[in-house]
Structure 1
């Protein structure tokens, strides 16, 4: 009996340790990370909170608002419905796509595409809205599109607001297999021409289709984009690296694509970098197996890692997602 009584504390500790391990394993985001059809997600960090701003994935005529999602740990997500609606934007009627949100001077600026214009005679393009909170409500900042024309062949969609190391902001955007970069002015109401007098510089790499994203790591510029057709299983993400946000960007290869055992059409992504760490997450959309509707897309998250040369390792899309990661 004495031997058994001596073992009981050890058994108890072992049980607690096993329970703790099980709890840790249970604390995974899962994929998708929140319910509903959402695509083109931009993930970012404001203060101690993660935010994701996706496209509402539906027929173009039904895409007249944006929802946002926030989390303290990448596991539990709070929905913020209709942070921006077409009703707040006098010129936006449909096809509101691909948000990009940045903070400057205590204000939050929400860049978006609307109306899916096909030529310079149509009303629409890229707009910008403003709010006092990352959860909105956002209101029109200009009363008109920021970009309403095709420059260098780029359809004005899929905008990404990029902050360079020197504090300057650029808008990187473009569909129809062309990508431009333009320097934003201080209040995000227009652009500052480059020294050569041009405003829109083309930085299109080989294979580019849409969905640009850029970040800096180790003093180098990682430029990422989507390839393939957004309605098909071949949708994917590729990247390049350069010493400048203007390139030249030479394609390195694909790092995100479908897994026929899990999901198809993995693409149009963004990257969350945990401040002060070497931790990176890729946020993207994909289509569940068996879904044939092009708009049946879900937002997912997985880890993104680098090799010893700084190249992005191929990403394995998962059903499990990622562990909890509270921000300090």
Structure 2
């Protein structure tokens, strides 16, 4: 969730295609848009808070776009009177031919954290802020980690947000313009929820996945719960990603579909080659692994690798 100060770079090894990790950064919101895959991570330009985007046709080679949004161009951010702000955990939704970029403004301390939204004509923007915060934290709630999900059954869009201090999940139905909230929907906070909610839908099942533990130590992990609706009640299912010997603190993920039949991937960040239980320092790195659903509503635990992610060789990416 927290800011990483260096510019995002593609990672590669000499003489071949990039392998895991694919990018330096954190909190990746990954999605497929037409023929391309996109990642929107926590990472700022060197000259101030903001965001980049990255695109790829093969999940291996990534092109940087942006900055697609700079805090210097969002006037309301300084309304709280604080001198330092952080650009955290973006997410993107598409509707009516436009792209909506949701992002968190931290930290939460003397003033509450906030979530903003900007609108652009393409996945790489340019994104123009709506002119006001979408959601403000306070009273034990930290307004961070926005994720917007469009329900394929009803056409309604929902904002999932919250976590960390207070570890509370909140869900809101959005208005049709995607830059306002219609109403809050009371929901249960699922077991082991810390932050980073993400929703995806498959075969009539709603999968709410999220991060658990401390982001700088080995406890950080990804868990999930399922429901028959996008707002619960949740049935806790277990962990998807946990630390192993060479990769620590995997979390703040996103789940997206590939070109093959029922082909899914998970993008997440981790600490590579860290030892012990933390706290870890340095840069987190983004990796992508296949995600396998099984036995109706279960997700097979993900094994972290250093391999290059591979798309299905049988089915090409369809027309956008």
Relative to the length of structure 2, the TM-score reads 0.84
Question: Which 5+ residue runs of structure 1 have no aligned equivalent?
Answer: 1-25, 194-198
Match of 1:131 among 112, 115, 120: 120
| Partner in structure 2 of residue 172 of structure 1 | 160
Q: Which residue of 2 aligns with 1:182?
A: 172
Distance 1:244 1:234 in 2: 29
For residues 1-328 of structure 1, the aligned pairs below 5 Å read: 29-34=18-23, 36=24, 38-56=25-43, 64-92=49-77, 94-118=85-109, 122=111, 124-141=113-130, 143-150=131-138, 153-165=140-152, 166-175=154-163, 176=165, 177-193=167-183, 199-260=184-245, 262-274=246-258, 277-290=261-274, 293-325=280-312, 327-328=317-318
- Measured in 1, the distance between the counterparts of 2:304 and 2:128 equals 36
Q: CA deviation at 1:116?
A: 2.0
In the aligned structure 2, how far is the partner of 1:186 from the partner of 1:293?
42
1:202 to partner: Cα distance: 3.1
Residues 324 and 27 of structure 1: CA distance in aligned 2, closer, same or farther (over 3 Å): farther
Matched-pair contact (CA < 8 Å) for 2:30–2:255: yes
Distance 1:124 1:240, change over 3 A: closer
Q: Are residues 75 and 173 of structure 1, via their aligned partners in 2, closer, same or farther at CA, if it must alter by over 3 Å?
A: same
- Point out the more displaced range, 317-326 or 179-188: 317-326
Query: Structure 1 or 2: larger strand share?
Result: 2
Task: Give the distance between the partners of 2:292 and 2:281, measured in 1 at CA.
Answer: 30
Give the TM-score normalised by the residue count of structure 1.
0.82
Give secondary structure in 2 for the equivalent of 1:91: helix
1:245-284 deviation per Cα after TM superposition (whole angstroms, max 9, x unaligned): 1111132111101111x21111110001126730000000
Change in 2 beyond 3 A, CA 1:201/1:248: same
CA shift for structure 1 position 124: 4.4
Instruction: State how many pairs are aligned.
Output: 289
**Are the aligned partners of 1:27 and 1:75 in contact in 2 as well (CA < 8 Å)?**
no
Asked whether the equivalents of residues 217 and 280 of structure 2 are also in contact (C-alpha less than 8 Å), the reply is no
How far, CA to CA, are the matches of 2:33 and 2:101 in structure 1?
A: 14
Which consecutive unaligned segments of at least 5 residues does structure 2 have? 1-14, 78-83
- Which structure has the larger Rg? 1
1:295 and 1:64 map into 2 onto residues whose CA distance is: 18
